[in-house]
Amino acid sequence: MKAGLSYKKREQIAGGFNFVILLLFGLLLITPFVWMVSVGFDRTANVTMPFPPKLIPKHLSSFNFGIVFENGSLIKAYLNSAIVTVSSVFIGVSASLLAGYAFSKGRFKGKKVLFVVVLCTLMIPMEPRLIPLYKLFNSVHLLNTFWPLVLPSLISGMLIFLCKQFFDQLPDTLREASQIDGAGEFTTFFRIYLPLAGPIVATMIILAFIWSWNDFMWPLVVLNDKELQTVPLYLASFSLENGTSLGGLTMALATMSVLPIVILYLFLQKYIIQSIALSGVKGE
């Protein structure tokens, strides 16, 4: 009994210690974000950036955010980013779900080799692909449009890998029973497996959303028209034009640029946690 109590006490102490460590790291990671929001609410930061940095400004003001909402260029950039991101997420998640299901439950020649090729794409960063992709879209006259930002999302090695791992955990007997009832592959996928894939779909949506919304280098290469600028491009051009002379307004713009990601994560965090928990159920 004493040994049991001592073990329970050690568990409580270890749990409390882990909680404190994670809390400290969490506060450390969130501090830059809090400082960014704080500077955005500091009107005097447009003259001189506060030094030393303060997490709570001395004089709170919504002046910078008012200008942000009245800025037609930022609204246009938001619309551009929304079009590109929603299209990329829809295409990327849909294609990855189908590919992941095919690699997991399908039976066809060369499946393992093709899957290895897909995984190999994870080792190729974006930089070496810039010139080939640029030449490809230039040859079909699609530069300075949204198509080069959307079409590459058709193939995402990471999302396909996540889908395959998730579908591997679902029993093959569901597919076999569906085939006995006369259902085809698409019917089996859409009516049986897809409704069970909610957690992994939520994880893929937030990942694809972050990748597309925050993408800077590729849009910088293919977009020349200011009317087509996405939010990262607009924020970068605004910062270059004004430097630190409008620090408060720049931080307000930066806050608004990450707000959609924060909101989306808050809505999907429950499903993302479920996906992480399910992925370790079988120890796979």
Q: Based on the domain organization, do 183 and 130 belong to the same domain?
A: yes
Q: Based on the domain organization, do 82 and 117 belong to the same domain?
A: yes
Q: Assess if residue 199 is contained within a domain.
A: yes
The count of structural domains within the chain is 2
Q: Assess if residue 284 is contained within a domain.
A: no
Q: Based on the domain organization, do 133 and 257 belong to the same domain?
A: yes
Kindly report, residue by residue over 109-158, the tens digit of the pLDDT.
888 899 999 888 888 888 888 889 999 999 999 999 999 999 998 888 88
Last residue of one domain, picked from the residues 33, 63, 93: 63
Convert 8-27 to b/e letters by CB count within 10 Å (16 or more is b): eeeeeeeeeeeeeeeeeeee
Q: Based on the domain organization, do 75 and 175 belong to the same domain?
A: yes
pTM over 0.85: no
Site of tokens 């095919």: 102
- How many degrees, rounded to 5, is the angle at CA 206 between CA 256 and CA 258? 10
Last residue of one domain, picked from the residues 63, 83, 103: 63
Q: Assess if residue 46 is contained within a domain.
A: yes
Determine the structural domain holding residue 99 and report its residue range.
Answer: 71-279
Q: Give me the pLDDT at residue 284, please.
A: 41
**pLDDT in single tens digits along all 284 residues of the chain:** 445 557 777 778 888 888 899 889 988 888 888 888 888 887 776 666 666 767 777 777 777 788 777 777 788 888 999 999 999 999 999 999 999 999 988 888 888 899 999 888 888 888 888 889 999 999 999 999 999 999 998 888 889 998 998 898 888 888 888 888 887 888 888 888 888 888 888 888 888 998 999 888 999 999 888 888 898 888 888 777 666 567 778 888 888 888 888 888 888 777 766 666 555 444 44
Supply the CATH number for residue 186's domain: 1.10.3720.10
